[in-house]
Amino acid sequence: MAKSVRNKVAWIAFVLLAIGIGLYPLSYLLATEDFGLLLSKSDELLASSVWTIAFYGHISFGGLALLIGWSQFIKKLRAKKLGLHRNLGKVYVFAALISGLCGVYLGFFATGGIIPSIGFICLGIIWLLTTLRAYVAIKQKDLSLHQGMMIYSYAACFAAVTLRIWLPLLSILFGEFLIAYKIVAWLCWVPNMIFAHLWVRKKGLTLD
């Protein structure tokens, strides 16, 4: 009984965090002046139309993917409303691919140099590859591979949440944003991938 309650609480927290951070890009879209991560960017970079399009593409479509992606793991939705599940899945794949591509590009301009750049580029590539594999797998009716890759894909997507949990904690711990940012570029997604791997194993999904 206690385990069931813990699982429900964990699920509710998971969904609320996904929705909350999924809506967070609205603050950038509605803001009248730069704030947040934009304050760490140079005037030259902020003046680049390509970088600006990539930035807003990344946060907008990434937010959309985060907002709807959790619904793909609801068994009752898949069982009772398969059409809705499929349509939401298509929107998620499209949003993830756009955001992932923009994220890889933005990674080359990450604040803090090569360490965070490599971290964010790796995250973007992993998100793209797992999402594509999940899509191809369901087209080939390989349900096990599809489910496994979707777990990995959303774990990569959820890095947007874990980044915003770790970054302020690390900034307080080290007393410097740049050090915290270099660490969080990896910490925001590597543990997520480990968790996804354990979840896939627990479910007995075959990824061959």
In tens, the pLDDT along 92-132 reads 999 999 999 999 999 999 999 999 999 999 999 999 999 99
Would 127 be classed as within a structural domain? yes
pLDDT in tens, 14-72: 999 999 999 988 888 777 666 667 777 888 888 899 999 999 999 999 999 999 999 99
Would 25 be classed as within a structural domain? yes
- Residue 2: pLDDT band by 50, 70, 90 thresholds? low
The number of residues making up the chain comes to: 208
Would 121 be classed as within a structural domain? yes
CA distance 157 to 159: 5
The answer to whether residues 58 and 106 touch, using CB atoms and an 8 Å cutoff, is yes
Whether the pLDDT of residue 152 is over 80: the answer is yes
Mean pLDDT, rounded, for 191-198? 96
Would 131 be classed as within a structural domain? yes
Would 155 be classed as within a structural domain? yes
The answer to whether residues 185 and 119 touch, using CB atoms and an 8 Å cutoff, is yes
Residue 86: closest CA among 150, 129, 148? 150
- Where residue 113 falls (left for φ over 0; alpha for ψ -120 to 50; beta otherwise) is left
Longest distance between any two alpha carbons in the chain, whole Å: 57
Enclosing domain of residue 183: 2-203
Would 208 be classed as within a structural domain? no
Would 53 be classed as within a structural domain? yes
Q: How many domains does the chain have?
A: 1
According to the model, what pLDDT value does residue 34 have?
Answer: 67
According to the model, what pLDDT value does residue 6 have?
Answer: 84
205 by DSSP, 3-state: which? coil
Residue 62: closest CA among 131, 151, 113, 115? 131
Residue 68: closest CA among 90, 82, 88? 88
Q: Which residues of 94-119 are buried (b: 16+ CB within 10 A; e: fewer)?
A: ebbbbbbbbbbbbbeebbbeeebbeb
